[in-house]
Structure formats: structure tokens, C-alpha cells
A and B are shown apart, each in its own frame.
Chain A
Amino acid sequence: MLGNDYQLSQQVTYRGMIWLLAAQLVVMLPFAFYLPIWLIPVMLASAYWRIRVLKGDSAQPKLVVRLLVIALGIAGVLLSGMTLLSLDTMVSMLLLGFAFKSLEAISQRDALVVVFIGFFLVAISFLFSQSIPAGAYGVFSMIVLTGALIANQQSPAQQMSQYSTRSSLKMASVMLLQCVPLMVLVFIFMPRFSPLWSIPAFESHAKTGITDSMAPGDIANLSKSDELAFRASFKGRLPKADELYWRGLVLNNFDGKNWQQLPEEYDTSELKSQLQNNMAWNDANVDVQGEPFEYEVIYEKTGQPWLFTLTPTTKVDGKTIRFGDYRVMSRGDIQSPLMVNAVSYPDAKRDLELSDYARSLALQLPARGDEKTRELAKSLRKNSTNDSEYVEKILNRFTEQSYFYSLRPPLLGDQNTIDKFLFESKKGFCSHYSGSFVFMMRAAGIPARIVVGYLGGEWNENGDYMAIRQYDAHAWAEVWLEGEGWKRVDPTSRVAPSRVEGGLEAAVEYEGSFLEGNPFSAHNFKWLDGIREKMDSIQYGWRRWILGYDSESQTNLLKSILDKMSSVPLAALIGALFLGIFLLWFVMLGLFRRQTYEAYEHQLYRKFCKRMEKLGVLREPQQTPYEFALIASEKLPAKAVAIRDFSSLYQQMCYVPNGAADRAKPHQKMRKLLRELS
């Protein structure tokens, strides 16, 4: 390409460098939330160094110095307690290189490299956070980066002008804005592929939400958070409040104080293989009855694999896996919002035959402890005719005796926690009730287990979707009854029916412990509810349509379009859209401009000159129309009159103001004279 042949002596100018450094800072700031914060001072230090070099206060660092600095930086990253080959380390290294790049960015080419690494980092930052503010900040970063790109192309003189910064930013914004239609088009239609290779995992950033074991108090902690857990929208019929039991994990094993999933502790992949080996999903175990719920859930990032669905989930898409205890898990930890479509039949009967493995898990009890409860359970069972009646008796006992639902229960110590709760404190929340209930079931020989998840959810204004927040976390129980299979029992609902109907807020209204310790939560300000809901719907749209747009949504969209038109017109339509965008750009950039700004008399004069040229009289650029008329009429005496008339008319017209009304007639005259000349 031409231009590449030229050795443009383009060094990064002072202002260009300032732009680059500013852009670097903008790009690196958000990483301070996730990665070692000392990267920012490192960047600032190298920026300061670079500016000193530019001002001539300090010399360009030598290669040895640069290598040393880089080695120090790498050592710093490794010493910050990050594992080698994790994504965090790689990103930190990239940031480090980015920060140091400014030290040796000398040519325009280097500037280009800095800016493009910047773009790359903007994208990488979205691996850490995909919230709306992060997105908005990303757009801002892109504008600054593009501005830096533009500023570096400006000539030094232009850079010095006082509007340079603003005009670069403005131009960058306009360019990026004009790019949006094409970007959207590509975004919608670009085929999506499945991951090409397994990706290095993030180091566990704070995991949120429900954990894989339950000690008394865990869920109470969650109840202090109004953070969003997930959102769900339903197609077809909507569930009632007492049907919104979002199943997450199943806890089988009790050690006297804590509940955990299986007798041994496993990490996620071991747990999956354990469940897959002993409790694989089997369609045959579900006896489908009643009407289904069809719904779509968008899970927030939790860093954990738990998904929450209504039980039993007969159909679920995406990268998910179901197990025989009716839980659904994501194949990997949820590092970015995940959208899942599912179908559940709440009235279905599950596991009419109980496997030995499941039965043994569901009957496990610690060898000793809580003797009073065991005795009570045995005696109550003896007085009941069957298991169902026994279940009912236990539940009634919670209602009849004065048990309270409280988020501020007294501490129960390490031993005989069930005894202490049932006979002494009688104050607790879902984990206490479900724990003691399951314990009493097992003590009477009835298979039972704890299910942890969320209960309820809050419909948004329009009722399109419901938001389930951390304070909706809940634990309930399941018992296995002959002929009925697994049956959900929620002992908490007996103590505090309002927990089911009105959510946690209603259940603890009397003691005012809702969102305790989180006084600034928007939920504590009723008058903010409208705004909160608005923001929530915007966020939902963001999750649903932007973050959740994957190959599946793409296929669905294409399918729905293809239903209306066949593939050939569709391809034509897409082509036309692309063409339309290009045309739009042409118009917006004013590229369809051909002398249209010229007044009519100038256009006529141009024609006149062309005609004269044909007749052999060429107008030199420096000749005035008057001089030219003289020369031309001398050379073409036959047409001298017309030439002189035309020229004088033209000269007169040049001084007639543009808006004047009497311009049409002279124009006509000029045209006539022009005809005579040909």
C-alpha cells in the first residue's frame, strides 16, 4: 500500500503519550477490583517515568533496566499468591506488560499496539464482571482508547490546539456510535461456536449464595443480603407462592451439628462423579402428572455450580446436568450469568422405589447425641398408625407448642443441638426446623433429607419475571413415604406460614430483623421501590438479551425468522442490512457530495470554461474571468460578444447575494449565451 513506502518519522508526541497513558489508566482501573491493586501504582510509576523521558528530565531506560523492571513485576505477580497458569495470573501479566509498554512506546506503531492491547483488556475485564456499570465503563474505555488512537494520528500542530482533546473524544464517540448498527448485526448473525478448549479457571473469587453444607446460622447470614440470586420468567401458567420451592442442593449427612451433602466431603468434580455413579438421573423414576411449569432462569454469577429449579425438572437445556436426587447443576462453576430453560412437573411422583443407596443416606444419623429427641421420636411413632400420621404429628407439634420463627435464635453450642432447640430455645429459622424435622423422621426410621434452595421470589411490576434474592434462601425437608415417593415437607411453614406467603420480610416483621446489618439496602427504603424495580427490569433485559444471547438464542431467533421467510430471502435480507449500513455511513459521512455546494453561476462558468477549452482557449488558473474573457474574445472574434456578455453576467452574479430573488433571469440568460457559444 502506498504510504507504507514512506518513512513517516512518526514518533509518539508528548500529547499523544499523555493520551496513551490516560487511556491506560482508564483501562486498568477496573482490574483493581479483581487483581493485585499494586498494578495501578506500577502503571502510574511507569507513566511518570515515561513523561519524564519525554520532557527530557530523564533518559530512556536501558534494556537492562527494562528487563530488570519486568522481572520484578513478574516476581511481584507470582508473590501475590496467585497460582501459575490461572487466568488471573495471565491477566495480571498482561496488565503488567501493558503498564510497561508505555515505557518503550516510541513509534506510532507502538502506540497502536498499546491501544489494541487496551481494547483486548477492556474485553478481558468483562470476564470478571458483566454488570451494566461494567458495560458502561467498558464503552467509556473504548471511547478513550479510540480517542487516543485518533489523537496520535493528529499532527503536533493540531494536537496543540485547545479543542484537540474534545474533538478527538467527540470523533471517537461518533465513530463508535456509527459502528453500532454493524456491530449489532454481526452480533446477532455471527455464528456462535462451542468452546474450543477447556479454559483456565478463575481463582475462586468470593463465592456467594448457598454453600454446600449447612450449619445453624448459615441461612440467617444469607437473609441479611438482598443480592440477586437469579431471575425467572414463566411461559404459560404461573406458580403460586407455595409452589416456588427452588431446589438447589440436597443435604443427607448429619454429624450432630452440621449437615452436609454426602457422608464425606467432596469437591465439585468428585461430588459429581459420586452422584453420577450412585444416584444418576433416571427418567423412569419420575411419574409425570399434572400440569408443567415452563420457565427460563438467568442465574447470577456465584462461582459455584448450584442451579435452582422447581422439582422435579423433567427437561433442562444448556450446559447442565441432573442427578437422581433431583438437583440440577451447572457443568462448570457459574462465572458469568447463565441462562437456562427448564420444564418442571410439580405434581409428579418421584422415586416410588427407593434405591438402597438413597435409603441408607436418608436414614443416616450420628451414633450418639440428642437422645431426648430420639426417644420422643420413637414414642410418637409408636402412637401413630402410619408414617404420614407421624409426619403430621411432628408438624403439629411445632404449631401447638410455642415455637417461634426468628432470625436471632440463641446459640446452641456444639452438642445436642437438636435437643437444645426442640426442648429449650424453641426459637429458630428454617435450618433449625428442617434439621430437627429430618432428624426426627430418621429417628423413627423414615427416610428423609434436607433440601436447600430458595423459597419464593418477587414479581416485578409488569409480572414478566420474578427476582429471587439471597434473603429468599430457605431449607426444607423431604420425606419418603411408601406409595408416594419423595414428598416435600416444610416445617417452617407451620411455624411461620407468612414465610411462604409473604416472604421473609413478612415472617420476621414482628422482630424487625429483616436485612439486619444491611441498613443501606434499597429494600429498607420503601419509597425507593419504584426506582429499584425499574433498575431491576433494565438489568433483567441486559441479562436476558445481551449476556444471555448465545448459540441457542441465535438458533431460536433464526428459526422464528425462518418460519416467516425461507432462507434465501433471509440471506438477501441480511445482505441488504449490511449494504444499508454502508449506505447509511456514506450518507452520514457526506461522501455523496459532488460540487453541490457550488452556486449555479459557478457551475455554469465551469461549463463555459470547458467549452472554451474545446474551442482551443484554455483558462490558466491565475486568470480572472475578466482577463480570460479578453483573451478568449481576442482568439475567437466571432464569438467575442457572447463571451464578453457571459463573463460580465457571471461577474455580476458573483456579487448578487445568495438569497436574492432576481437570480433566475440572469441564470437563464447565461444558459442562453452558453448555448450560443457551442
Chain B
Amino acid sequence: MVIIFLLFLVGINFQNSLVYIVCFWLIALLVINIFYTYRNLSGLTIKAISAEPCFAGEKMVLELEVSRPVKQRKSAIYFGWKNEDLVELNLQKEQSTRIKLSHSSDKRGRFSPPRIDIFTRFPTGLNTAWSYATMDIDGLVYPEPIEKKQGVDNQSSDDEASDGREILGGSSDFAGIREYQAGDSPKRIHWGQYAKTGDLYTKSFVDYESHDVWLDWQSLNISGTEPRLSHLSAMILAFHDSQRQFGLRIPGKEIPPNKGEAHKVRCLTALALYGLPQEKVA
């Protein structure tokens, strides 16, 4: 550093031992600082915990568990990718901690985050110790959900009413009243009618079996693989949000109608991996 050189000149010109000492002390500090910075980085154990699936164009969140050697505390270590995300990590009292890093994804499929830059400037900020970590983990990138207008009508192969088949004896929608039969729940007795007529009537309800909506690749009126996948992805989300039952049919894969989080993930995974080499599917 300039200052050290200046000090050396001052030391020479004034023949001042203490100035020399400060100068050499600083040199020694710079040198030991290299060791310290290195130590601050060394001995870290990094485990990839998970890579959360995301939609193309979104950020994939990678969760890492970082633990330190028993006797060394760590301060101000940065994990990240250039122009992506940067996370500062401190391990003082705790042995290990989890950090989340996000990386943008652009293509559907399996995404392996590039090697992570890890660096630190602690304790003095004069040196940087750095390292790279390539995590053996990949996450799914679902096709970006883009709904295509022309596809809406052809979404389902069944031509039934959108409400689907009625299931008698249901409990959600009021369907009418009928005569009381033994065994009917007193809760369902239509007391108003009883007051009017003196006869017992029972309110009857129906449930709707969500119709088996099929999201079918073949019936899509969209050209190109990716736009189709994007559209299907959007539809899956839409159906999932409205808690409707649906099935997915894409070339080479058919997922029977169902609903729920796991079903959504299954369908989206199928979309994400469509047309990709399968060897990694465990």
C-alpha cells in the first residue's frame, strides 16, 4: 500500500526507529491478514439442501446448509453469483445455518445452479479470500405459465356442462326438498315447510363431481412445443387455484384427474421434463 511505502520513506528520512516499527508492523499485519482471511473462509462445510422448483423466468431458490469447524467463528462470508444474488453469512454462536440463494432461470427443465462464488474480506477488508462451490443439486424449472387465448375453448375433451355431473346426497348445494324418510338427519328437516303443511320434508343437497377435465396436449390449438407447455402450465395453475380436478395428457405421459398440491407438482414436473432425457428422474 501507498501508506506503507510513505511510512518507509518517513522512516528513512527521519531515521526514526518507531516509524520503521509502525511500517513493518503494518506489513506484518497485511501478511497475517492473508492468513486470517483465508482462515475465515476455510473449513466451511456446504451442503445443498434443496433447490425449490420455480417457473421459467423466476428465481430459483437454492437452500444451502453451511457449517463451520468447531473452533472457528466465521464472519461476513458472501455467497452468490455475479449479477444474481449475494448473501452474507455469519456463524458466530451457531454451528451451522441455512441460507437461501436465488438464481434466475430462463429455460424449463432441470436446472443446476452454476458454481457459487464464495468470498470474504473479513477481518480487515484488505484481502479477499475466495472459493467456488459447485453443488450437486438441480431443481425443476416449470414452463413459464402463459395463457393463450385461442386455447381456452379446447381445453377439455368432455363436452359436459361446466359444472359436471351431480352427485345426489351431497352436502354443498341446495337442490330442493323431498318427503321425509326415516333416517334423515334432523338437521336437514325443512322446518318452514313443516309449519306450513304439517308434513316433514327434508332438504336435499347435491355435490358436484368435478368433471374430469383433461388438459390435453393434442387438443391445443397452439403451435410450438414451448408455447403449448406454457399454456398448459398456466391452465394447471388456474385449475389448481380454483380447486378443480383435472388430468393431464401430454405425449408419452398421462396423469389421471386429481387435485391438490401434490397433483399440481406432478403435472408441472411432467411439463418441465417433457421431451428431456429421462435418466435423471429418480
- A residues bordering B, Cβ < 8 Å? 1-6, 8, 108, 112, 116-117, 119-120, 122-124, 126-127, 130, 134-135, 138, 142, 146, 149-150, 152-155, 157-158, 161, 171, 175-176, 178-180, 182-183, 186-187, 190, 192-197, 199, 335-336, 546-550, 582, 585-586, 589-591, 593, 597, 621-622
Q: List 5 A-B contacts (CB under 8 A).
A: A112-B126, A123-B19, A155-B88, A158-B90, A582-B35
**Is there contact, CB below 8 Å, between B123 and A150?**
yes
CB pair A119–B22 under 8 Å, yes or no, is yes
Contact status A182-B31, CB under 8 Å: yes
Which of B6, B18, B121, B124 is packed against the most chain A CB atoms within 10 Å? B18
Task: Check A149/B13 contact, CB under 8 A, given A123-B19, A158-B92.
Answer: no
State whether A197 touches B119 (Cβ < 8 A): no
Are B10 and A124 interface neighbours, CB within 8 A?
yes
- Whole-angstrom CA separation of A150 from B73 in the bound complex: 14
Tell me if B265 is interfacial: C-beta within 8 Å of chain A. no
Which residue from chain B places its CB closest to the CB of A152 in the assembled complex?
B125
B172 to chain A, nearest CB (A): 40
Given known contacts A120-B3, A591-B38, A153 and B124 CB-to-CB distance under 8 angstroms:
yes
Q: CA of A605 to CA of B82 in the docked complex: distance in angstroms?
A: 37
Check B18 against A126 for contact (C-beta < 8 Å).
Answer: yes
Question: Is A336 in contact with B14, judged by CB distance below 8 angstroms?
Answer: yes
Q: Which of B43-51, B53-61, B184-192, B254-262 contacts A (4 or more CB under 8 A)?
A: B43-51
Is B112 interfacial (CB-CB < 8 Å)?
no
Q: Judge whether A4 and B9 touch: CB under 8 Å.
A: no
The reply to whether A123 and B123 form a contact with Cβ atoms under 8 Å apart is no
Contacts of B13 in A (CB 8 A): 195-197, 199
Q: A79: shortest Cβ distance to chain B, in Å?
A: 27
Contacts of B120 in A (CB 8 A): 3
Q: Are B10 and A183 in contact (CB under 8 A)?
A: no
Q: Are B18 and A179 in contact (CB under 8 A)?
A: no
Cβ-based interface call for B180 (8 A): no
Q: Considering the chains assembled together, what is the distance between the CA atoms of A157 and B91 in angstroms? A: 11
Determine the distance from Cα of A586 to Cα of B39 in the docked complex, in whole angstroms: 9
CB-CB under 8 A for A193 and B12, given A152-B125, A154-B76: yes
With A5-B82, A590-B72 known as contacts, the answer to whether A179 contacts B125 (CB < 8 A) is no
A-B contacts besides A182-B27, A182-B28, A546-B21, 19 pairs, CB < 8 Å? A2-B117, A6-B119, A120-B3, A122-B22, A123-B7, A123-B23, A124-B19, A130-B16, A154-B122, A157-B90, A175-B32, A175-B123, A182-B32, A183-B21, A187-B24, A190-B20, A193-B12, A547-B18, A590-B39
What are the 7 A-B residue pairs with the smallest beta carbon separation, nearest first? Answer: A179-B28, A126-B18, A3-B128, A182-B28, A123-B22, A3-B119, A2-B130
Q: Contacts A158-B75, A593-B43, A621-B49; is A186 near B27 (CB within 8 Å)?
A: yes
Of A1, A120, A127, most buried by chain B (CB within 10 Å of CB) is A120
Contact A146 B124 (CB under 8 A): yes
Chain A interface mostly:
helix
On chain B, the residues within 8 Å of A126 by CB distance are 16, 18-19, 22
Cβ of B281 under 8 Å from chain A? no
Q: Kindly list chain B residues whose C-beta atoms are within 8 Å of the C-beta of A134.
A: 18
Verify B14–A127 contact, CB threshold 8 A.
yes
B90 / chain A contacts, CB cutoff of 8 Å? 155, 157-158
Given the interface pairs A155-B75, A157-B90, A182-B32, the reply to whether A589 lies near B24 with Cβ below 8 Å is no
* B42 contacts chain A at the CB level, 8 A cutoff: yes
- Residues B130 and A175 in contact, CB atoms below 8 Å apart: no
In the complex, whether B86 has a CB less than 8 A from a CB of chain A is: yes
Q: Which residues of B contact A196 (CB under 8 A)?
A: 9, 12-13
Residues of A near B32 (CB, < 8 A) are: 175, 178-179, 182, 585
A187 touches B21 (CB 8 A): yes
Are the CB atoms of A153 and B17 closer together than 8 Å? no
A633 to B9, CA, bound (A): 72
Residue numbers in A under 8 Å from B35 (CB-CB): 582, 585-586, 589, 591
Pairwise interchain contact B19-A127, C-beta atoms closer than 8 A: yes
Q: Taking the complex as formed, is B149 at the interface, i.e. its CB lies under 8 A from any CB of chain A?
A: no
Expressed in whole angstroms, the Cα–Cα distance for A179 and B20 within the complex equals: 14
Taking CB atoms, residues of chain A closer than 8 Å to B14 are 127, 195, 199, 335-336
Closest to A171 in B: B123
In the complex, whether B201 has a CB less than 8 A from a CB of chain A is no
CA distance A652 to B86 in the complex (A): 41
Q: Are B18 and A138 in contact, CB atoms less than 8 angstroms apart?
A: yes
Q: How far is B96's CA from A266's CA once the two chains are assembled, in angstroms?
A: 76
B78 interface residue per 8 A CB criterion = yes
Query: What A residues does B202 contact at CB under 8 A?
Result: none
Q: Which of A138, A186, A593 contacts B28 (CB 8 A)?
A: A186
Which of B17, B29, B78 is packed against the most chain A CB atoms within 10 Å? B17
Contact among B6, B12, B130 with A3 in the assembled complex (CB-CB below 8 Å): B130
Q: Which residues of A contact B182 (CB under 8 A)?
A: none
A582 contact set on B, CB distance < 8 A? 35
**B26: Cβ under 8 A from any A Cβ:** yes
Most buried by B among A175, A192, A597: A175
Residues of A within 8 A of B39 (CB): 589-591
Expressed in whole angstroms, the Cα–Cα distance for A591 and B38 within the complex equals 9
Contact B75 A153 (CB under 8 A): yes
User: B36 contacts the other chain (Cβ, under 8 Å)?
Assistant: yes
Asked whether any CB of chain A lies closer than 8 Å to the CB of B134, the reply is no
Contacts of A186 in B (CB 8 A): 24, 27-28
Q: Does B25 contact A (CB under 8 A)?
A: yes
In chain B, positions 87-117 with a C-beta closer than 8 Å to chain A are 88, 90, 92, 117
* Complex CA distance for A547 and B14, rounded to whole angstroms: 12
B36, A6: Cβ atoms closer than 8 Å: no
- Neighbouring A residues of B16 by C-beta, 8 Å: 126-127, 130, 336
A589–B71 CA distance with the chains assembled, in angstroms: 10
Asked if B169 is an interface residue, CB under 8 A from chain A, the answer is: no
Q: Is B80 an interface residue (CB 8 A)?
A: yes
CB pair A2–B128 under 8 Å, yes or no, is yes
A175 touches B33 (CB 8 A): yes
Partner of A1, one of B69, B124, B130: B130
**What chain A residues lie within 8 Å of B195 (beta carbons)?**
none
Could you say which residues of chain B place their CB within 8 Å of the CB of A180?
25, 28
A contact residues around B157 at 8 Å (CB):
none
Known contacts being A155-B88, A591-B39, is A597 close to B124, with CB within 8 Å?
Answer: no
Task: Indicate if the CB atoms of B75 and A154 lie closer than 8 Å.
Answer: yes
Is B161 an interface residue when CB atoms closer than 8 A count as contact? no
CB-based contact B18/A546 at 8 Å: yes
* In-complex Cβ contact of A120 among B7, B17, B70 (8 A): B7
**Chain A contacts for B1, CB-based, 8 A:** 116
Within 8 Å by CB of B48, from A171, A175, A621, lies A621
Contact A179 B25 (CB under 8 A): yes
Closest B residue to A549 by beta carbon equals: B17
A2 to B129, CA, bound (A): 8
Bound Cα distance A176, B86 (Å): 31
Chain B 117-152 residues near chain A, CB threshold 8 A: 117, 119-126, 128, 130
Say if the beta carbon of B219 comes within 8 Å of chain A: no
Do A6 and B86 form a contact, CB below 8 Å, given A153-B122, A175-B33, A591-B42? yes
B135 to chain A, nearest CB (A): 10
In the complex with contacts A150-B124, A175-B32, A590-B39, A142-B15 CB distance below 8 A: no
CB <8 Å contact, A116 and B3: yes
Which of chain B's residues has its CB closest to A190's CB? B24
Please measure, in the bound complex, the distance between the C-alpha atom of A117 and the C-alpha atom of B4, giving whole angstroms. 10
Residue pair B18, A123 in contact (C-beta under 8 Å) = yes
Residues on the A chain within 8 Å of B23, using CB: 123
Asked if B28 and A149 make an inter-chain contact with CB atoms under 8 angstroms apart, the answer reads no
Q: For A142, list chain B residues within 8 Å (CB).
A: 22, 25
With A153-B121, A186-B27, A621-B49 already in contact, the answer to whether A175 and B36 are too (CB < 8 A) is yes
With a cutoff of 8 Å between Cβ atoms, the chain B residues found around residue A152 in the complex are 125
Nearest Cβ in chain A — how far from B11, in angstroms? 8
Q: Report the minimum CB–CB distance from A64 to chain B (whole Å).
A: 29
In the docked arrangement, what's the CA distance between A434 and B142, Å?
107
Chain B 145-171, CB-CB to A under 8 Å as 1, else 0, gives 000000000000000000000000000
- Which residues of the other chain, B, contact A123 by a CB distance below 8 angstroms? 7, 10-11, 18-19, 22-23
